[in-house]
Amino acid sequence: QVQLVESGGGLVQAGDSLRLSCSASGRTFSSLIMGWFRQAPGKEREFVGGISGGGSTKYHDSVKGRFTISRDNAKITVYLQMNNLEPEDTAVYFCAADQRSWFISNMRSEYDFWGQGTQVTVSS
């Protein structure tokens, strides 16, 4: 089992930055692929980006150049740095852990463990 807890969400204005954190516990964190997803009201949960144990990253096209995922294996934490936020980024953001794959998947079904989510609201 892996327990995930997100933090750092809030209300910001368009153009602002925000950093989300996801703290993990329960098993060897460095071997996990970690993903960030988001779900806006009335929409499906979508892949934002992910990071492998070795630090390789993958992003959804809509956030490339604005969002950066990093991890600190010593602190068993993964981060989502969000810059130049847009109202369209408003959503509940979830971190997730994949203990089975060898690559970063953008599919929800590949992730085994999920956090409870943190709300990000971007006003125009």
Listed in sequence order, the residues at least 6 apart from 107 whose beta carbon sits closer than 8 Å to its beta carbon are 47
pLDDT at 26 over 80: no
Structure tokens at 44: 């499906």
Structure tokens at 10: 């809030």
**For residue 33, which of 83, 74, 91, 73 has the smallest C-alpha distance?**
73
**For residue 92, which of 22, 37, 52 has the smallest C-alpha distance?**
37
The per-residue pLDDT for 28 is 81
How would residue 120 be classed by pLDDT, with cut points 50, 70 and 90? Answer: very high
**For residue 79, which of 57, 106, 101, 109 has the smallest C-alpha distance?**
57
For the ranges 17-21, 47-51, 67-71, 100-104, the lowest mean pLDDT is seen at: 100-104
How would residue 27 be classed by pLDDT, with cut points 50, 70 and 90? Answer: low
Per-residue pLDDT tens digits for 96-112: 999 988 899 999 999 99
**For residue 61, which of 79, 42, 71, 47 has the smallest C-alpha distance?**
47
Q: For residue 28, how many C-alpha atoms fall within 13 Å in the half-sphere facing its CB? A: 5
